[in-house]
Structure 1
Amino acid sequence: MGDEFNKRRGQQTIELKEPPRIISTFSIVGPKEGEGPLKHYFDEVLKDDTCGEESYEKAESEMMYKAIGESIKKAGLTEKDINYLFSGDLLNQIISSTFAARKFKIPFFGLYGACSTMSESLSLGALLVDGGFADYVVAATSSHFSSAERQFRFPLNYGAQRSKTAQWTVTGAGAMVLGRKGEFPKVRYITTGVVKDYGITDPSNMGAAMAPAAAHTIYKHFKDTGREPKDYDLIATGDLGRVGKKIANELLLEYGYDIKDNHIDCGDMIFNDVVQNTESGGSGCGCSAVVASGYLYKKLMTKEVKKVLLVSTGALMSTTSSLQGESIPGIAHAVSMEFD
């Protein structure tokens, strides 16, 4: 294959030659998120985190369904126009996504990348559009505090004391519609992460578990593309929280890159940690999903920023692996969203 067709850049990055546009987004969050610093950037804030459903799990699926449907409407499309749906969540067998997908007649890929799933779904959707396999794709992700707590930690009524390194799972869902044309932010580069495991076993310190993967993916993105931190207005990691963000910055200094001037973390900014008692910040699949489809996308559309590197981060653990004493592997995927 000739060089004119080669889209690979370095070891882990792809440069899209026909960059898909993010033509619409929709973000829906729970009441606690709606009281946080980013409340004005979300499309909908729920008054009740049950979303009118009889369980938290059903509420999460309903949020996902609404985010997908409303993002399609905002794009001026119908579900018949959408060629593929990519979505994922934290629950066993990604039931939030599959139960939402059964309400649509859209070919569906279910994904599990833990909290990295927003960048993962956006990456795969963009590859299909760039490759000419689809005209329109929806990428979506969700999480819910109450459903995640009772699956991964303790029953809500147990009242377990939270450590200072713990994070609060975001109740929310975000969706993005990718298309071929229009004056919208483009997906220019995709850097797919590799699994990193530094031996962290504390499920209440996921920021430390994910930070090495975030730092490595950002480092490889710079090496593969020849870009530097100053080339981005914002480098937004997914949900490292206050603790993980600090570790990632320190690790990147060892790689030779200083990103602290334009580095933000979705988990660090979605809550007011002091007022809302969220300790190290937010986490969950929905964390980078709602911040990216709400705050970051609106900043791009107003051209307050023109180049954003979204680096969603995930802790690849399960209840089974934790009970077996396994450490927590981390993963991070990077997507550049930019205007020319």
Structure 2
Amino acid sequence: MMAVDKIGQATYAVQGVYIQGTGSVVGPKEGQGPLGQQFDRVWKDERAGQATFEKAEQALLIESYDEALKKAQKRWEDIELVVGGDLLDQIITTNFSARQHGRPTLGLFSACATFTEALAVGALLIGGNGPKTVLASAASHHQTAERQFRFPVELGYQRTPTTAWTATAAGAVVLSEDVGPLAIEAVTVGRVVDIGGKDPNDMGSAMAPAAFDTISQHLQDTGQEPGDFDKIYTGDLGHFGIKMLIEYAAQKGLQFGDELDDCGRSLYNQATQDTHNGGSGPGCSASVFAGPLARRLVRGDWDRILLVATGALFSPTTYQQGETIPCVAHAVAIKAVRGAGQ
């Protein structure tokens, strides 16, 4: 039975919404990282035969769609709605890709928190007796994001230790009312939090308070503790941001244990891959969930996780105008459904 019930201030309990299939596609650098063998596809180069990096990002997303549909045993005509987003102006990766699949599409933007926003929107719509099958996704590409938000990589500028590495990655999931190997338990919609940070090369520190705000709200609304989850994965706080989250939470009376981890911190080898703070971008949490995390849930390593993607909501224009960086995090609780293998 499908149902959505609001609990607490910002959380919705969801029943009868399942993840039937996932697709994860990453670039060569991501494939060389610790999780490289756990993605569905790893590109040999970042352009993959496309004329531009922007077109390559669209191809990356389409391939993640194909993998998710294949595992869910669905065709495009079975998908009633596509929800997703990316980092590029006018979310062109998601919107231009929609020219190919031709399905009804809702383009979303929460920066690097877009994937959990997409999961939340899809789950709430299905649980509220809307569409029966939704494809949720997010994508990013290192070369396109660097060009838009920082500098052309050809300049060879020096990156600071707190700078994140935008992942060349895409992840997609098929959400459905039909039983699948994973189920959505609850979603918590985050508030925009701004602590006054202005450095786009230190987004982990800017996003940590937003991650805390959403995690603590989810725990308060559901009456749970961090240890009730096998894992709590933030999106892309990275090595510096996750430390700040732990310290910030401790000051507020919330203690994390070994269950806390971060998708961006997990994606690369910090010692050998020169990614500094770790991975970032909407495709970071999308691919890490759709690949490694979903696999571990399905094979029985874990029963429940809380995925909390984090996003810094600035633009090149607001940065140049001296604005601070508002941030947001959205949380989705996901559990394994035993006996319904992917």
Following the alignment from structure 1 to structure 2, what is the Cα–Cα distance between the partners of residues 267 and 44?
18
Following the alignment from structure 1 to structure 2, what is the Cα–Cα distance between the partners of residues 68 and 276?
28
Task: Read off the aligned partner of 1:68 and give its amino acid letter.
Answer: Y
Following the alignment from structure 1 to structure 2, what is the Cα–Cα distance between the partners of residues 105 and 69?
14
Q: What do the CA deviations read for 1:283-319 (whole angstroms, capped 9, x no partner)?
A: 1111000001001100111010010000000000101
The 1:6–1:288 alpha-carbon spacing in structure 2 relative to 1, beyond 3 Å, is closer
Note if contact 1:176-1:293 (Cα within 8 Å) is conserved in structure 2: yes
Where 2:295 maps in the other structure, the secondary structure is helix
Q: In structure 2, which of residues 42, 47, 50 is the aligned counterpart of residue 45 of structure 1?
A: 42
What's 2:105 paired with?
108
Task: Read off the aligned partner of 1:44 and give its amino acid letter.
Answer: R
What's 2:59 paired with?
62
Note if contact 2:4-2:128 (Cα within 8 Å) is conserved in structure 1: no
Following the alignment from structure 2 to structure 1, what is the Cα–Cα distance between the partners of residues 88 and 213?
27
Where 2:160 maps in the other structure, the secondary structure is coil
For 1:240-259, list aligned pairs within 5 A: 240-259=237-256
Note if contact 2:61-2:170 (Cα within 8 Å) is conserved in structure 1: yes
Following the alignment from structure 2 to structure 1, what is the Cα–Cα distance between the partners of residues 154 and 102?
38
For 1:266-277, list aligned pairs within 5 A: 266-277=263-274
Greater alpha carbon shift after TM alignment, 182-191 vs 199-208:
182-191
Deviation of 1:117 after TM superposition, in Å, equals: 0.4
Q: In structure 2, which of residues 298, 306, 310 is the aligned counterpart of residue 309 of structure 1?
A: 306
What's 2:209 paired with?
212
Q: In structure 1, which of residues 13, 19, 30 is the aligned counterpart of residue 11 of structure 2?
A: 13
Q: Which runs of 5+ in 2 are unaligned?
A: 338-342
Note if contact 1:24-1:177 (Cα within 8 Å) is conserved in structure 2: yes
Q: What do the CA deviations read for 1:21-57 (whole angstroms, capped 9, x no partner)?
A: 1110000000000000001110000001102101111
Greater alpha carbon shift after TM alignment, 178-187 vs 75-84:
178-187
What's 2:225 paired with?
228
Q: Which runs of 5+ in 1 are unaligned?
A: none
CA RMSD, 1 decimal: 1.1
For 1:1-340, list aligned pairs within 5 A: 7-16=5-14, 18-339=15-336
Deviation of 1:6 after TM superposition, in Å, equals: 7.2
The 1:231–1:320 alpha-carbon spacing in structure 2 relative to 1, beyond 3 Å, is same
Paired residue total: 335
Where 2:272 maps in the other structure, the secondary structure is helix
Identical amino acids, percent of aligned pairs: 45
Greater alpha carbon shift after TM alignment, 83-92 vs 71-80:
71-80
Task: Read off the aligned partner of 2:197 and give its amino acid letter.
Answer: I
Task: Read off the aligned partner of 1:119 and give its amino acid letter.
Answer: T
Where 1:337 maps in the other structure, the secondary structure is strand
Note if contact 1:249-1:260 (Cα within 8 Å) is conserved in structure 2: no
Deviation of 1:183 after TM superposition, in Å, equals: 4.3
Note if contact 2:20-2:181 (Cα within 8 Å) is conserved in structure 1: yes
